[in-house]
Structure 1
Amino acid sequence: MSQAPAQSGVSAHLHGDAAALPTALRGLINNPELSDVSFVVGRRRQVVHAHRCILMCRCKVFHRMFRHQTPQEVTVPFVLADVEPEVFLAVIEFLYTNSVTLDSQIALEVLTAAVEYGLTDLRKLCVDFISRTLTVEMACEALQAAVTYGQTDLRQRCLAFIELHTEEVVKTQSFREISDLGLVSILQSSQLSIDEVALIQAVRGWAYVSSVVLDVPVSVVAQDAVRELRLVLLSPDELTTLERENSKDDLIPEMQIAQAWKFHALKKVSDSNPHHFHRRKGTLMREHHHYLDPPSKSSGVSALGSK
């Protein structure tokens, strides 16, 4: 009788219940049992317990923090005064379970922590949550975070929201508190659903608040932002009113106002800043606006053919 061929070794990578491990690890969050590191967090100096092995394998920042600890330092709590307990615990939750519980009160701060700790997946979760839960009141605050931390995807989503709700957004406290860089990113958009007169008034209000906070003149604090105002969209009467208001605070440089008057005199679009001659989505029509639209190529061809 012939012998059956010997079977070669067989191996397989098998999975148990995918939720079992995160569920078990969730029970270790802020659990003093077997913990070997602690943090004193926030103004309330709340103690948070953790396990170094989990933090080190999940986060390079914590790995560097603990790697060179001496035996004497192991028992000394880390003081994190600049982060609130709810925010830090959200970070810990993510490190232990690869998931996070967010609400609108802490999402922006958790995003900040995710960037600082280099947690890319947590950052993405925060950006997705913030983008889906944007409100008029928090839109500029979210945009500010996006600009500060270079979050291009969140910046684009915030701008899209602000473009849809511009008139409401410019009335909020977060608009008045946004940085000049954040404000410039808003003013560069042609999709803002607001008329230029109202937008100029909103920028003036922002400038007065920023002037008080930073203790610098209105004209200085707003010098970058006002360059993005499109004064040529204003009628002559509106420009005259603007000049009268501007004489009180010098918010807008005289040269910029003079360029708007030059357009009214020559009815000619400048090549230096062509986007300043584009109507925004919410711009109300004025009689002189037809001079802003260059003749289309088709009309130009027709004109040549008729000669």
Structure 2
Amino acid sequence: MPEMCDVTFLVGRRHVPIYGVKAILATRSRCLYQLILHHQRKAEAESSNKKSKKGNRSPLPQKLMIDVQDYSVEDFRKFITFVHSGKVKIDINNVIGLLCASVEYGFPDLQTACTKFIQRSQDHGEGKHILDSAWNYQHKRVSQKLICKLTSQPKVFN
């Protein structure tokens, strides 16, 4: 329900909106709290600069917009759903994105669930599909480590 949300994440290259509630996001993760606080302060500073130039300000608060370009839309949508509800359906297509988000934003329970899912998937012969998905997030350290582990190559990433 976008009208009930007060933060919008603009995800991916096409800036697809994914909506959230600041209070829930901030209380579930210190990292999300810091991210929201940083963008809120930045928006307030920009707003005060515009206010001093124009002299008037809208009485309605603006929704906070946060750009998130390094996740797929569906993976980030699932992650935000998890943050709000504490539940998510992990599958072979979203496990790497959820793992990267869980590490980046500090959700050890989701990280553990993703790690266990990856291990079970490897045991069932799905390692190739996981590796292919991991390449989509090769800019994330956890994905780099997973690629090295799955390909049994020495670490070459910094």
In 2, the alpha carbon distance for the partners of 1:91 and 1:149 equals 16
Is the 2:96–2:134 Cα contact (8 Å) retained in structure 1? Answer: no
TM-fit CA distance, 1:138: 3.4
**Structure 1 vs Structure 2: percent identity of aligned residues?**
28
In 2, the alpha carbon distance for the partners of 1:58 and 1:77 equals 19
Greater relative CO, 1 or 2 (CA 8 Å, sep 6+): 2
Is it true that 1:122 corresponds to 2:113 in the alignment? no
1:98 pairs, out of 86, 95, 98, with: 86
Is it true that 1:50 corresponds to 2:20 in the alignment? yes
Larger radius of gyration: 1
In 1, the alpha carbon distance for the partners of 2:128 and 2:6 equals 42
Q: How many residues align?
A: 131
Calculate the TM-score normalised by the size of structure 1.
0.37
TM-fit CA distance, 1:136: 4.2
Match of 1:149 in 2: 142
Q: 1:142 to 1:57 in 2, by over 3 A?
A: same
In 2, the alpha carbon distance for the partners of 1:142 and 1:85 equals 14
Is the 2:79–2:101 Cα contact (8 Å) retained in structure 1? Answer: yes
- Tell me the secondary structure at the aligned position of residue 77 of structure 1: strand
Is it true that 1:111 corresponds to 2:99 in the alignment? yes
1:142-183, Cα deviation, whole Å (9 max, x unpaired)? 8988xx439x9x89xx96xx7xxxxxxxxxxxx5xxxxxx41
Calculate the TM-score normalised by the size of structure 2.
0.67
For structure 2, the residue ranges without an aligned partner over 5 or more in a row are 48-60
1:63 pairs, out of 23, 33, 55, with: 33
For structure 1, the residue ranges without an aligned partner over 5 or more in a row are 1-30, 163-174, 176-181, 186-220, 222-307
Match of 1:138 in 2: 129
TM-fit CA distance, 1:112: 1.0
Q: 1:87 to 1:142 in 2, by over 3 A?
A: closer
More strand by share: 2
Q: 1:78 to 1:99 in 2, by over 3 A?
A: same
- Give me the CA root mean square deviation: 3.3
